[in-house]
Every structure is written in C-alpha cells, then in structure tokens.
Amino acid sequence: MTKVRDSGMPAAEQWESYFDAAGILESLGCRDLNGDAVEFGCGYGTFTIAAAQMMLGTIYALDIDPRMVTATAERVSRVGLQNVVVEQRDFVAEGCGRESQSASLVLLFNILHFEDPVGLLREAHRVLRLGGLVGIIHWNYDEHTPRGPPLNIRPRPQQCRAWGEDAGLRWVRNESFPGSPWHWGMVLKRS
C-alpha cells in the first residue's frame, strides 16, 4: 500500500470550508465537458459530486482509504447521481485501472506533493484521449494557509508545469479562484 505522503484529511466540514468546489471546476473548464473523468484521490467526494453534476460522462473516483470511499459513495447515493463509480484503489501501485485514451478529464487535486509526481502525470497522460485535460489544484506556496503539506514538499505552479511537460502534457493555463483563496490551479492538455 502506497499512500501519498501527507495526504491525511481533517473532518469533512473543515476540509470543505476551504473550497468553492463548483467554482474551481467551472474555472478549470469542466462544465458540460463530454466524456469520462478520472479523479485521483477523491477524499470526501468534495469535487466528485460537483464534477458529476456539471459533466455529462462518468466520474471514476478513486481512493486508497476505505473511509473516503464510503464517504464518497454515500454522498453519491444521497444526491442520487448515476454517473459516478467510486472505487477503492491504490493508484500508485496499480494505476487508475482505466483503458488508455479513455478519459476526457483527469483531476489531480491536492495530490501532487506525491513522491513521484511525474509518474502520476504519466498515468494521467496514458488515460487521456487526445485533447483531454488535466485539472490540477494545490495549496498556495505560503506558510499562512490553514492546511496543506509542509512547504518543503508543497509544489509550486511552475514546478507542476515542468513535471507535466516531462510527462508529455502541454501547459494550457494557470488559474486562480476568487472563492478559494488558498489555492491555485492549472490546466494541462494531452495533444
């Protein structure tokens, strides 16, 4: 089992007070996107639910932690969403389990402080169809954020862009989120 370092979570209400999930997904271009999405590390389903409500395809929400899988699955059924598959899976050891070039979107949210970010981005590249997008968000590189991994492992946007390019992805744009002041975002593309 290869849990990403420093990927523990506070209580759901606290975690979700840090984001405007729908606003972030809108800014990254997810609204009405055709095709499926793969979410690496879905946590409480904070972004899973919002993505499923704005996208037309299926969201494959993966997490290694059974408590997170249960939390997300319960939420999906409470809201009555039909387009989410929640799976307990170690994406480090096993990859995401989806066919190559089968997805239109990969979500790498608060996860790229991982020991092997380029490996993860290569897996994102593999699963994306041509023209497919990677949405990345992470905590600002700032010691005053209310949470986030230690600064010595917290990636900056420029670093994530370079990792993405190493993995064969093309940088599209950076984003900031008015409703989520502690985070920055980025869109990469498989072209």
Ligand X SMILES: C[S@@+](CC[C@H](N)C(=O)[O-])C[C@H]1O[C@@H](n2cnc3c(N)ncnc32)[C@H](O)[C@@H]1O
Nearer to ligand X, 70 or 191 (CB): 70
Which of 92, 105, 120, 136 is the binder for ligand X (CB under 6 A)?
92
Distance CA 18, CA 10 (A): 11
CB of 69 to ligand X, least distance (A): 9
Q: Would you count residue 175 as binding ligand X (CB under 6 A)?
A: no
DSSP 130: E
Q: Please tell me whether residue 63 binds ligand X under the rule CB under 6 A.
A: yes
Query: Which 103-142 residues touch ligand X, going by CB under 6 A?
Result: 109-111
Residue 103 CA to its chain's centroid (Å): 14
Q: Which two tokens stand for residue 184?
A: 């920055």
- Please state the closest distance from residue 165 (CB atom) to ligand X, in A: 22
* Amino acid, single-letter form, for residue 9: M
Contact with ligand X (CB under 6 A): which of 18, 91, 163, 177?
Answer: 91
Residue 134 backbone dihedrals phi, psi, to 5 degrees: -110, 125
Token digits of residue 143: 């010691």
Among residues 3, 26, 140, 174, the one that binds ligand X under rule CB under 6 A: 3
Query: Which one of residues 24, 38, 64, 71 is an interface residue with ligand X (CB under 6 A)?
Result: 64
Question: From CA 136, how far away is CA 128, in angstroms rounded?
Answer: 14
Residues 8 and 5: their CA atoms lie apart, in Å, by 8
**Residue 149 exposure: Cα atoms within 13 Å on the Cβ side:** 18
Residue 7 as a binder of ligand X (CB under 6 A): the answer is: yes
Nearest 5°: phi and psi at 106?
A: -120, 135
Task: Pick the piece of the chain touching ligand X (CB under 6 A) from 37-45, 49-57, 151-159, 165-173.
Answer: 37-45
Looking at the Cβ atoms of 33 and 38, the one nearer to ligand X is 38
Note the residues at the interface with ligand X (CB under 6 A).
2-4, 7, 9, 41-43, 46-47, 62-65, 68, 89-92, 109-111
